Amino acid sequence: MVARLRADGLKIVIASSATKADLDALLAIAKVTDLVDVSTTSDDAGQSKPALDIIEVALEKAQMASTTAVMIGDSPYDIEAASNPMYRRWRFAAVDGMTAA
Residue extents of the structural domains in the chain: 2-97
Q: Which residues are 14's β-sheet partners?
A: 39
User: pLDDT tens digits for 40-66?
Assistant: 999 998 888 888 889 889 999 999 888
User: pLDDT tens digits for 66-82?
Assistant: 878 878 888 888 888 88
Burial class (CB in 10 A: 0-12, 13-18, 19+), 40: buried
pLDDT of residue 91: 52
Q: What is the pTM of this model?
A: 0.77
CATH topology of domain 2-97: Rossmann fold (3.40.50)
pLDDT of residue 32: 93
Q: How confident is the model at residue 90 (pLDDT cuts 50, 70, 90)?
A: low
Detail the DSSP E strand segments found in the chain: 13-15, 38-40, 70-73, 91-94
Number of H helices, E strands in the chain: 4, 4
Phi, psi of 17 (to 5 degrees): -80, -5
Mean pLDDT of 28-45: 93
Q: DSSP class of residue 87?
A: G
